[in-house]
Structure 1
Amino acid sequence: MKKYTSILSVILFFFIHSNSWAQPAESFVKVNVAPEKTDWVYKPNEKVKFAVSITKNDIELPNVAVRYEVGPEMMPPVKTENVVLKNGTTVIDGGTLKEAGFLRCRVVASYEGKEYSGLATAAFSPDAIQSTTNEPEDFWTFWQKAKAEASKIPLDARVRLLPERCTEKVNVYEVNIQNYKPGTRLFGIVCVPKAPGKYPALLHVPGAGVRGYYGDVNTAEKGVITLQIGIHGVPVTLDASVYNNLSAGALDGYPNYNLDDKDRYYYKRVYLGCVRAVDFIFNLPEFDGNNIVVMGGSQGGALSIVTAALDNRIKGLVAFYPALCDLTGYLHGRAGGWPHLFSASNLSFNNTSQKIETSKYYDIVNFARHLNVPGFYSWGYNDVTCPPTSMYAAYNVITAPKTLFLAEETGHWTYPEQWEKAYDFALKLLKK
């Protein structure tokens, strides 16, 4: 019963505090699309057929007009057609891919003046997908130097108790520490068990965007120190309107900031900030001094990999659909990772040799090569934010122990079962 309650607590925490990870709302009319193979996996040159049904109240709708398109994920379609589904079902000949990758079928149905859509993505030898980026010769030297320079900056930790968030078992604090240069701050919420003792720690690294944070109180009540950080150098307990204004103003498009300079690119402060967060945890008197896991999804999935690669104090990681993987994929005619720096819509201002070179120092593929600790990874094939091609490009270079839990039909969201397995994995590493 105790384990069941713990799992429910962490699932509830993520569903409340990260909307992009929650399962999407049900649609009145459902467009169901799936490859005919149960595992959705094919070999190059093997033909794919997509089964389609349009339903309302789980009953097929007759005489529905649909249009569909098929092509490599995130690329222009190679086949489009308009058809009427007389019995509410059809089978689409999706063709094939000649090499490892993903082929996507998107179907849009028109019903009573409104459009409903669905998609499915067939995998072609995903374990054979190779990255398009390469690791610069000075990649590791660059980051070791950056870490060394940041370590000389005093943490100057400032902690403020948040009584309204505390519980009988946990104290909750807003914390801010000095990041990679004097005057640059990193803000977060740390939750510490009240009972005397030494505890393991879980570091939550954030998905993309600008928002406040509440703190993972539920996990802390199970005897784990939790630290949930923001990345933008602003307090994480402000009114939501502040974050909305920043998102629409000063921080709009932050993943592109200073991309032409590897020493000034926006994510340098972010990646180093994750290491500084680990420094803070190791300075907590309640920390057991050894057991720490990092966890996140999307941008946070990327940061989990980065943190574990850069900091050998991390004992393991959990990464859901990691972003920032194989960013140069678009320059090679296939999908690249979020934030899609070199996609067609961004190519006009990012397609320079300097920006391409800078991206290599921040590409998750190159951090994944340096992982030495066990990791739990999970994603789906239908993700249009972090394309599976990009994620496999990173996953396939990992030589450390790794576990991949696939939920093929998911997009940029998770099922409770994914979190159950992830939490079990983290608890074992934390010896809880």
Structure 2
Amino acid sequence: MNAIAKRIQDLEALESGRTARPDFDLFWDRLMLEEKAIPVRGERTRAESPLLGTISYDVVYTGFADTPIHGWLLLPENAPRKPLPCIVLYHGYTGSRELPEHHAVWLMMGYAVFAVDVRGQGGITGNTLAQHGGSSKGWVTQNILDKDNFYYKAITVDALRAVRFVKEQPEIDPQRIIAMGTSQGGGLTLMVSSLLREEVRIAVASLPNMCQLDSAIINSVGSISEVADYLTRHPEDLDAALDTLSYFDAVNLADRIQAPLLCTVSLKDPVCTPDSIYAAYNRITSSKEMIVYPFNGHWTGPDHMRKVHAFIQQHL
């Protein structure tokens, strides 16, 4: 057996314990009950776009802490079947919903797209979440000692409401919702798929973040390293920070996922490390498939979109 095959075999056999606290299930069950009781308020406005054969809407819906979240709802006019399957697209750290034309490939394949901003990052969406203490650079450590007001809770609720909003749009088939994202967006895909089990039909999580967060603080050079920076200055907060992170670790929610899942890992990825991704992936019991890129860093392959499309068509 060569070294690459051995590495993959070891990852597939990896067992990771959950770090969930005793009230973990209560925390999420209560939050989901609260969410279902809150109507998702949103508005959509027709937008100009250079895309031919596409109707574009500029959407604003209300996220956590009443933050207005911006997104693009993009509808292909000549899709073979309507109402439309819809990809709810979550971007990577520091990114944005981008421009409508950046999502043209999915539209040409016949999917509607709802591409949403993550609050406070590179898009036009702000962040009204009150900050109750200090933080390091970036966004990940905002309220790191308070799980009820932590930044990851805010972006998870925002992501949940994106699915709930688009599901109610008249052009969208509510039975064909696809959650999709890369890196931070992949982590949000896992979170949403585990919490909206009846709403998400298919999940596509590429190089997902938000996995095995206690280990990622030590090993990742990505966004979670901001927590390491914070704890370097405030070592007395280690236990409290790990406690908060445990509620938003996909490892602890993975066994709730029911939708077919396509996941991606790159074996040389220093941001979303293979061990952390497999720690969550190996706990998923639904139909699943892993694409392994042995020589890639924090990126997928040139044929990745084609593989994703094939997986969706197989399970849609």
Q: TM-score if structure 2 supplies the norm length? A: 0.85
More helix by share: 2
Counterpart of 1:372 in structure 2 is: 258
For structure 1, the residue ranges without an aligned partner over 5 or more in a row are 1-36, 43-121, 243-249
> Helix, strand or coil: the match of 1:383?
coil
Distance in 1, Cα, partners of 2:172 & 2:202? 16
Q: CA RMSD in A?
A: 2.8
Cα contact 2:213–2:249 (8 A) shared by 1: yes
Quick one: structure 1 residues 165 and 428, their matched pair in 2 at CA, closer, same or farther if it must change by over 3 Å? farther
Q: Contact 1:323–1:337 at 8 Å: present in 2 too? A: no
Letter of the 1:427 partner, please give it.
Answer: Q
Query: Please, which of 153, 157, 167 is the counterpart of residue 272 of structure 1?
Result: 157
Q: What is residue 303 of structure 1 aligned with on the other side?
A: 188
| Aligned counterparts, 1:90-129, within 5 A | 125-129=10-14
**Structure 2 residues without counterparts, runs of 5 or longer:** 127-134
> Does 2:304 correspond to 1:418?
yes
Amino acid at match of 2:272: C
Is structure 2 residue 22 aligned with structure 1 residue 40?
A: no
Letter in 2 for 1:175: V
* Paired residue total: 301
**Structure 2 equivalent of residue 257 of structure 1:** 142
CA contact (8 A) 1:41 1:123 kept: yes
Deviation for aligned residue 1:417: 2.5
- Could you tell me which of 288, 298, 316 is aligned with 2:173? 288
Q: Does 1:220 align with 2:107?
A: yes
Moved runs in structure 1, 4+ residues, more than 6 A?
none
Provide closer, same or farther for how the CA distance between residues 367 and 256 of structure 1 changes in structure 2, counting only shifts above 3 A: same
Aligned partners of 1:406, 1:368: CA distance in 2, in Å? 19
TM-score (norm 1): 0.64
Judged with a 3 Å threshold, the aligned counterparts in structure 2 of structure 1 residues 378 and 197 are, in CA distance, closer, same or farther, namely: closer
The 8 Å contact of residues 21 and 246 in structure 2, kept in 1 or not, is answered as yes
> Which one has the bigger strand percentage?
1
Alignment partner for residue 175 of structure 1, among 43, 59, 63? 59
Q: Deviations over 1:377-423 (max 9, x none)?
A: 11111001111111111111111111011111111011122332122
Q: Which amino acid aligns with 2:111?
A: V
How far residue 208 of structure 1 moved from its aligned partner, in angstroms, is 0.6
2: distance between equivalents of 1:299 and 1:377?
13
* Fraction of identical pairs, as percent: 25
1:89-133: CA deviation from partner (whole Å, max 9, x where unpaired): xxxxxxxxxxxxxxxxxxxxxxxxxxxxxxxxx567212323255
Q: Distance in 2 between matches of 1:197 and 1:396?
A: 36
**Partner SS, residue 190 of structure 1:** strand
Superposition pairs of residues 332-347 of structure 1, within 5 angstroms? 335=219, 338-341=222-225, 345-347=229-231
Question: Partners of 1:173 and 1:346 in 2: how far apart?
Answer: 39
| Correspondent of 1:191 among 74, 83, 102 | 74
Q: In structure 2, do the counterparts of structure 1 residues 341 and 361 end up closer, same or farther at CA, with 3 Å as the change threshold?
A: farther
Gap change, CA 1:337 and 1:370, over 3 Å in 2: farther
Return the offset for 1:347.
3.6
Distance (whole Å) between structure 2 residues aligned to residue 162 and residue 224 of structure 1: 18
1:407 to 252, 271, 293: 293
Q: Write the letter of the residue equivalent to 2:257.
A: L
Q: C-alpha distance in 1, partners of 2:160/2:110?
A: 23
Deviation at 1:179, TM superposition (A): 1.5
Q: Secondary structure at the match of 1:40?
A: helix
> What does 1:376-387 correspond to in 2, within 5 Å?
376-387=262-273
Aligned ranges for residues 30-179 of structure 1 at < 5 Å?
Answer: 38=2, 40-42=4-6, 125-131=10-16, 133-167=18-52, 169-179=53-63
Q: Secondary structure at the match of 2:22?
A: coil
